Every structure is written in C-alpha cells, then in structure tokens.
Amino acid sequence: MLLYGVLIPGAAAGLLALALLRGASATRSAPYRMASGVVAIGGGFASAFVAYFGVTDLLHPQSWQWVFWASLAALPVWLMRGRLSSPAFLACFTAAVAALLLQPMIGKLVPRELQTPQVLGWSIGLGVLFGVLVALLEISAQNFSSKVLAPAWTIYAAGFAALMFQLASARLGQMGGFLAAGCGAMAVLAWLKPQRSLLPGAAVVLVLVLGQVGANAYFFGSNVAGLPLLLAALPPVILAGATRWQWLRNGKPLPSMLVLMILVVIPLGIAFFTTTMGAATNGAGAPEFPY
C-alpha cells in the first residue's frame, strides 16, 4: 500500500514537475509554467491508478473507473494561457468536463433509481458546483505562494481520503490517497523551489478527481454521506476567503502555512464527527460499498 498509495504517485508527480520546470527554464514557455502542477498531480494519480488497479475495463469503465479518466481530462489545462487560465474560464472548463464524465458514471451507479433526465440534471448541477470550487481554489492558488498553499491542499486531499475510508469504501479512500501523495510531492517541491508557482491550474485535477470520488460515495454507498460531503466542500471556500487577509498573504511562510492547514482541518473534522454521529444514529452505520 505504501508503494502504490504514496511512493508511486508522489514520485511520478515530483519527477513530472521537475521535468516541466526544467522545460520552463529552457523555453520560458507559458504552458510549461502552467503545466507543472496539473500535469504532475494528474499524471501521478493516473500512474498510481494503473499500477494499483490495472488497466482492465478502462475502455469500458465501471463507475469508479471514471475517476481515472477525470484525472486525464484535466491535462489540457497545460495548454491554456492568458485569459484561458483565468479562474472563470477554468471553472467553465471544469463544469463542462465534469458534466460529461458524471453522466455515464451516475448512470452506472444508480441505473434503477434515476431516470435519464434526473441523471442529466445531477450531472449538470454537480458540474456547475465543481466549476465553482475550481474557481475558488484557483483564486487561492493565484494569491498564495505554492509553498504556503500546497501543504493545505495535501491535508485537504488526505482528509478527504480518510473520510472515504470512514464512509466504508477502501477503494475510494485509496484514490484520495493517490491525490494526496501527488499534492504532498508538490508541497515538498514548493519548499525546495520557493520561487516557482506550482499550483495555478492544478485545482482542475484536484476537484475533478475528488468530485468524482465524492459522487461515488454519495450515490452508491453510505446513507449518511450527504452532510459530510457538503462539509468537505467548504475548504475551497475558506481558502479563497483567506486571500482577503493581507497579513496571511504577506506573512512569514511557515505561520501562514500552518494557519491555512488549520482552516482546512476544521470543516473536515466536523465532517468526520457528523459521519460518526450519523452512523451511530442509524444503528448499523454506513453500508459496505461493493468496491
């Protein structure tokens, strides 16, 4: 588990980021500068996914396998520059991609519970939500230095992964762990190369992957997942709001980093509490996922 869940995605993300940063230094090309985070984290996730789960049925994916394609769907962000790299455009891009990927995934999760119009409505609605979350995370990525923000993203992905484990799906938790390892590699690299901006654009892959994982948890699994998932969506809102605090943006890196990590932990901690209380109230607790 350590090899596949941490070392492979972390090493792949770090190596991809270093290669792209070297390319940026050699070419001074905007796509290379934009690519380092989204390609590194997305590529690290995809590498770990294939190494751990294999490639069987990826061309005819089951519900949980759509998460792999979500990580690859974010990669075109590396070509975006200028206005195309603005939070608003990235939000629109994410909303469109998420809606396209969510429709077949939700259809496979609940084919007997939702009719086609309902599946379409959920897909569009969640796509819009994911787009908003990307815009919020992108605001924080463009206002905080990567070495201040990347550890908070790592805690966010790791906490989300732990929440999936608590909601009774080891496989979904593992996927969140792959993403956390990639973000962790970015955090280490950000402190080693503090002059580099690694995270702009990377919010797309973070939200697409965690969003697909969360949708799996909501539609096919725990009957207490709704409120915890809503709480788990709050850190992007909090991080974007924190950009208004000048003392946090311009303060010393270590204290600012710790503050952002605490701000992320608070809603995740409440999500854990509500999951535990919900399971206790419902007696048997969350049912086991079939994956």
Q: Compute mean pLDDT per 10 residues along the chain, 291 residues long, and list them.
A: 53 56 47 64 87 84 87 84 81 94 80 73 94 95 92 95 84 89 87 80 93 87 78 95 91 93 96 78 50 49
Name which of 128, 131, 122 is nearest 103 in CA terms. Answer: 122
**Separation between Cα atoms, residue 68 and residue 252, nearest integer Å:** 37
The reply to whether 105 falls in a domain is yes
Model pLDDT, residue 30: 45
Helix (H, G, I), strand (E, B) or coil at 282: coil
Containing 7, the helix (H) or strand (E) segment is none
**Separation between Cα atoms, residue 37 and residue 81, nearest integer Å:** 14
Model pLDDT, residue 31: 43
The reply to whether 96 falls in a domain is yes
Model pLDDT, residue 29: 46
Model pLDDT, residue 26: 38
Q: Are 215 and 126 in contact (CB under 8 A)?
A: yes
**Separation between Cα atoms, residue 74 and residue 32, nearest integer Å:** 15
Read off the tokens for 169.
């799906």
Model pLDDT, residue 32: 43
The reply to whether 290 falls in a domain is no
What pLDDT, in 10s, does the model give residues 178-199? 899 888 888 888 888 877 777 8
Contacts of 270 (CB under 8 A, 6+ apart): 231
The reply to whether 19 falls in a domain is yes
Model pLDDT, residue 63: 78
The reply to whether 272 falls in a domain is yes
What's the whole-model pTM score? 0.87
The reply to whether 291 falls in a domain is no
Model pLDDT, residue 262: 96
CB-neighbour burial class of residue 143 (10 A; exposed 0-12, middle 13-18, buried 19+): middle
Model pLDDT, residue 98: 94
Domain of residue 83 covers 2-281
The reply to whether 47 falls in a domain is yes
Model pLDDT, residue 216: 87
Q: Are 144 and 243 in contact (CB under 8 A)?
A: yes
Read off the tokens for 71.
């990580």
Read off the tokens for 94.
């994410």
Number of domains in the chain: 1
What pLDDT, in 10s, does the model give residues 102-119? 988 887 776 556 677 888
The reply to whether 118 falls in a domain is yes
